[in-house]
Amino acid sequence: MESFKKILRPYQERVDMELRQFDNFTEVELLRDPIAYFFTLPGKRIRPLITLITAEHFYNSYENAIPSAVAIEVLHDFTLVHDDIMDDDRFRRGCETVHAKWDLGTAVLSGDAMIALAYRKLLTSSSPQLMTMINAFTDGMYVVCEGQARDKAFETRDDVNLDDYLLMISQKTARLISLAFEFGYLSSASTTDALGALKEMGEHIGLAFQVRDDLLDFMADEKALGKDVGSDWRRKKKTYLTIGYHQKATANPQLPQDLFALPEFPAARDAVVEAGIVAEAQEFIDQQLHRAESIADAINFSHPVLHHLLQFLAKRGY
């Protein structure tokens, strides 16, 4: 894991350097300061990393992909700021969320401005496929919002199944990861020949990424994760683990029938482990990443960082 961090660091540093250039985008402190604050929070920068290594693979350089890599990271940050508001999370990446540090209205406005900043950065791209990128970016932003709406609607439904859930995370999480691959390819492309395969690869990686998040919410070390473990259970969220557990409990009356009715989180965690759903979740993750690797092999996507990334995503602890 430490070796992957070293591999990732030069890409992170370049993206962070670009994000710092937004520091003085306005003189209005109430807009500038929360956004600058959020951009400095420690993050993995997985999405811009994907964009940069895709460009490196296809074009031997990622310079033309910098605007789109930064744009997708800023779009992702917008989704996090607004997710934190909707979930009333007080911490993100081990630090206070924007609405906790400032207030709700400031956080909403900051997220809105991030969308504009993302577009502004994307429009500096010199790609011959810029219009295709703008259309993909706009579609991606809408699809993520639709996925978030599905997630919100699930809160009041008792009939959510795994197919419903996988559709939701395909929109909410996987779409931006697919977009990251698309942007790396489109940053200098004269054609769109490889676009379909890259989008499919991103879909599999995105599904694995989100289910690993679900797993970490039950099983992670809280300090390493940077936020409260068990928050999905406390909010009675429909996730791969909680939906899978419900299916297991329905078929096995010896299991506690209502996971959310258990008196404390450790009991819920133990029940999930006993039901075998933790092992099934990890198997799903491994299957999705194997499919992504097969697609990469089929299109000769041989960038060494991609191999390390897939290994990291399979076992990440944060």
**Domain of 236: which CATH number?**
1.10.600.10
The distance in angstroms from the start CA to the end CA of the chain is: 11
pLDDT 10s digits, 82-136: 999 998 888 888 899 999 999 999 999 999 999 999 999 999 999 999 999 999 9
Number of domains in the chain: 1
Strands (E), the chain: 91-92, 95-96
DSSP state of 63: G
pLDDT given for residue 87 in this prediction: 86
Percent of the chain with pLDDT over 70: 97
**Can you give the pLDDT at residue 318?**
82
Q: What are the C-alpha distances in Å from 145 to residues 60, 75, 258, 264?
A: 34, 11, 30, 32
Q: What is the pLDDT of residue 1?
A: 60
- Average pLDDT taken over every residue of the chain: 94
Q: Taking residues 52-65, report their average pLDDT.
A: 97
Antiparallel, parallel or unpaired: β 91-92 and 95-96: antiparallel
What residue numbers bound the domain in which 206 lies?
A: 2-315
Over the stretch 191-236, which tens digit does the pLDDT of each residue have? 889 999 999 999 999 999 999 999 999 998 766 666 678 989 999 9
Of the chain, the percentage scoring pLDDT greater than 90 comes to: 86
Model pLDDT, residue 2: 62
- pLDDT attached to residue 227: 64
User: Tokens 């928050």 correspond to what residue?
Assistant: 231
